[in-house]
Chain A
Amino acid sequence: GENVEQHPSTLSVQEGDSAVIKCTYSDSASNYFPWYKQELGKGPQLIIDIRSNVGEKKDQRIAVTLNKTAKHFSLHITETQPEDSAVYFCAASKEAGSTLGRLYFGRGTQLTVWP
């Protein structure tokens, strides 16, 4: 099956700085890469996703980049704010085949933004 590795496990930044979280995946057939944010006491929520036919996607202060050749993708948060503090998960999946619907998650990154 797919193996997703995520780094770093913890990340502390000053408010206003940028934060970058990196993930690698093992299955070259994976073609869908979402990012989830989990706030304290809540379930993870989808914040952005990217498909393998796109190299970069932006949504206001967050962006995701994908390098299919190297099998890695990254989440970039600019102008961080204290409310960005949360656990972030990357994930990968194949949108076809027998594992349709299965998301393989990274181990999570605890992001802390200091005011």
Chain B
Amino acid sequence: EADIYQTPRYLVIGTGKKITLECSQTMGHDKMYWYQQDPGMELHLIHYSYGVNSTEKGDLSSESTVSRIRTEHFPLTLESARPSHTSQYLCASSEFGSRGYTFGSGTRLTVV
């Protein structure tokens, strides 16, 4: 069973809507990450956090924002969704640096 949970699994929304993708983990991991996965499979790091109140932008420019108020929770927010935001979003966490990354099952977002 998963120790990292993403909701919703699938989401179809209209352009201009504000959305929040949820990610929660029960393992007490300090480090959490958001990846955007394009149809060509490639994983792009868009945000990461090394602990509470710590957030950093990743390699791929993203119009999304994140927050880390609690260790177990790392939500991603899009203030105004656009069709270009259509993608799969994967959340991950790790305890010991780069070892032991655990991924969630992802949220497939479609903006129409």
Residues of A within 8 A of B (CB): 1, 32, 34, 36, 38, 41-46, 49, 87, 89, 91, 93-96, 100-103, 105, 107-108, 110
In contact, B98 and A89 (Cβ under 8 angstroms): no
What are the residues of chain B within 8 A of A110 when measuring CB–CB?
41
What are the residues of chain B within 8 A of A42 when measuring CB–CB?
105-106
CB within 8 A of A41: which of B45, B97, B105?
B105
What are the residues of chain A within 8 A of B98 when measuring CB–CB?
32, 34, 91, 93-95, 100-103
What are the residues of chain B within 8 A of A107 when measuring CB–CB?
40-42
In contact, A101 and B104 (Cβ under 8 angstroms): no
Q: Report 29 cross-chain contacts, Cβ distance below 8 Å, ordered by A residue.
A: A1-B59, A32-B99, A36-B103, A42-B105, A43-B90, A43-B92, A44-B90, A44-B101, A44-B103, A45-B103, A46-B100, A46-B101, A49-B99, A93-B97, A94-B98, A95-B97, A96-B97, A101-B31, A101-B48, A101-B50, A101-B94, A101-B98, A103-B98, A103-B101, A105-B43, A107-B40, A107-B42, A108-B42, A110-B41
Whole-angstrom CA separation of A17 from B41 in the bound complex = 24
Residues of B within 8 A of A (CB): 31, 40-43, 45, 48, 50, 59, 90, 92, 94, 97-101, 103-106
Which chain A residue lies CB-closest to B56?
A102
Whole-angstrom CA separation of A101 from B104 in the bound complex = 17
In contact, A43 and B103 (Cβ under 8 angstroms): yes
Q: Shortest distance in angstroms between B65's beta carbon and chain A's nearest beta carbon?
A: 20
In contact, A89 and B105 (Cβ under 8 angstroms): no
What are the residues of chain B within 8 A of A38 when measuring CB–CB?
41
Whole-angstrom CA separation of A45 from B61 in the bound complex = 25
Whole-angstrom CA separation of A100 from B43 in the bound complex = 18
What are the residues of chain B within 8 A of A87 when measuring CB–CB?
41
Which chain B residue lies CB-closest to A110?
B41
Whole-angstrom CA separation of A94 from B98 in the bound complex = 8
What are the residues of chain B within 8 A of A44 when measuring CB–CB?
43, 90, 101, 103
Whole-angstrom CA separation of A41 from B37 in the bound complex = 12
In contact, B48 and A102 (Cβ under 8 angstroms): yes
Whole-angstrom CA separation of A103 from B99 in the bound complex = 9
